[in-house]
Amino acid sequence: MADVVYLHVGSPKTGTTYIQDRLALNRSQLARHDVRYPIGARGDMFHAALDLVERPWGGMLAEAKGEWDALVKRTRRAHGSVVISHEILAGATSEQVERAVTSLAPAEIHVVLTSRDVARQVPAEWQERLKHQGRMTYRKFVRRVQKPRTQLGRSFWQVQGVTEVLGRWSRQLPPDHVHVVTVPQPGAPHGELWRRFCRAVDIDPAWAPLDGVRRNPSIGAAESSMLRQLNSRLRHTDLEDGDYRALVRHLIVHETLAAEPVQQRLTLPPDLYDWADEVFDSWREWIEGSGVDVVGDVEDLRPVRPAPGEVWHDPDRARPRAVADSALDALVAVIVEAARREDPDDQLTARVGKVARRLRER
């Protein structure tokens, strides 16, 4: 059994994709220093985390059955230290946290939370929900986030709230086994988040020389507006979840829209920075009072207000020309992908044709 297990539990949109990619790329080098990242045949820990938190996730929960126990078995066969990482672990309930910690005993357990200021997390979380077929306007999303008792508010703070996440994950652990890694503000030296993460999990950064290439990049205000409207149209079709992931989330968003420089960065509405400061104050108070280990600077969690006179781009009122441009980019990507396919009569093409007919019939 591993001597020490570091559970990196999120939060989403805090550089977790980059961290996981770098861990995977350097698995063999890390193993030479008795650090294991036991991803298994699937190549990541998503299914294991999904099995633990038991979320439907577009019909993928069934195929994740047994994956957490399989990850635990790989961890038990390891020696030295083990890093387990996936951001959806942030949403685990108290019962699921207990299952995770108990299943990894008698190893010494540490919990690591990468955290970013709420002013950056709110727009990032809205965009992430759009990539999972969300249709809610930005303003409505922001209003509900401010009301923790709403269903959406609860789901947001369950994974993004420092106090909420660590309130569940740190309950059975001494404070020095709980590590908050703050995400640096823009302008920090390249690799600073990785170096901070390494300090939290007791890794020398030199043990993982290969840089990560995978990212989960953001898109701009106009692109977000187009995606939300596209999702509203697609709701009237029977496009399957797997096809949406392949065509919309990966092809259109990740490979096409996110590949271009962001023209109109999506940010928190200007009138909400006082509220964001209050969130920061509550996080800082909890962190300092709890005695948990902070890697980085807690001041990185303080929202950075926009410069005087800076124009705010409202994604609910994006310029029609900019929205049309992003829609045309998406259309080009889909056409090129369709032309690339060897068999024009394959099942996916047939399903896409059925979706088009449904849209024409509206």
What is the mean pLDDT of the segment spanning 297-308?
96
| C-beta atoms surrounding 252 within 10 Å | 27
Which listed CATH number (3.40.50, 3.30.470, 1.10.10, 2.60.40) goes with 4-118+159-215+270-301? 3.40.50
pLDDT band, very low/low/confident/very high, at 28 (cuts 50, 70, 90): very high
pLDDT value, residue 163: 97
Distances (CA, A) of 166 to 114, 130, 185, 268, 288: 11, 26, 22, 24, 13
3-state secondary structure of 112: strand
**Parallel, antiparallel, or unpaired: how do β-strands 178-182 and 81-85 relate?**
unpaired
- 15 vs 8: CA distance, rounded Å: 12
Q: How many CA atoms lie within 13 A of 13 on its CB side?
A: 22
Angstrom distance (rounded) from CA 255 to CA 245: 12
| pLDDT digit string, tens, across residues 232-269 | 999 989 899 999 999 999 999 999 999 988 889 999 99
Average pLDDT value for the chain = 93
Per-residue pLDDT of 202-241, as tens digits, reads: 999 999 999 987 767 789 999 999 999 999 999 989 899 9
- Find the helix or strand (DSSP H, E) in which 83 lies: strand 81-85
Ranges for all domains in the chain classified under CATH 3.40.50: 4-118+159-215+270-301
Q: Which pLDDT score is estimated for 140?
A: 97
From CA 17, how far away is CA 39, in angstroms rounded? 14
Average pLDDT over residues 341-348: 62
Residue 84 bridge partners (DSSP): 7
- d(C-alpha 98, C-alpha 164), whole Å: 15
Q: What is the pLDDT of residue 90?
A: 98
Q: What is the pLDDT of residue 236?
A: 87
Residue 359 has pLDDT above 60, yes or no: no
Please report where in the chains the tokens 């596209």 appear, as a residue: 230
The encoded tokens of residue 116 equal 């970013």
Q: Residue 349 — pLDDT band, cuts 50, 70, 90? A: low
Whole-structure pTM value = 0.91
Helix or strand or coil: residue 309? Answer: coil
Whether 21 shows a pLDDT value over 70: the answer reads yes
How far apart CA 141 and CA 68 sit, in angstroms, is 32
DSSP 3-state of 56: coil
- Mean pLDDT, residues 299-313 taken together: 96
CB atoms under 10 Å from CB of 114, counted, come to: 28
d(CA 279, CA 46): 29
Binned at pLDDT 50, 70 and 90, residue 351 comes out as low
How many other C-beta atoms lie within 10 A of the C-beta of residue 147?
11
pLDDT for the residue 58 = 80
pLDDT digit string, tens, across residues 10-20: 999 999 999 99
Helices (H), 172-267: 192-200, 221-234, 241-244
Whether the pLDDT of residue 340 is over 80: the answer is yes
Residue range 130-171, pLDDT digits in tens: 999 999 999 999 999 999 999 999 999 999 999 999 999 999
Span 61-92, pLDDT tens digits: 999 999 999 999 999 999 999 999 999 999 99
The whole-number pLDDT of residue 342 equals: 66
Using left for φ > 0, alpha for ψ between -120 and 50, and beta otherwise, residue 296 falls in left
**pLDDT for the residue numbered 59:** 84
Exposure letters 18-52 (e unless 16+ CB within 10 A, then b): bbbbbbbbbeeebbeeebbbbbeeeebbbbbbbbb
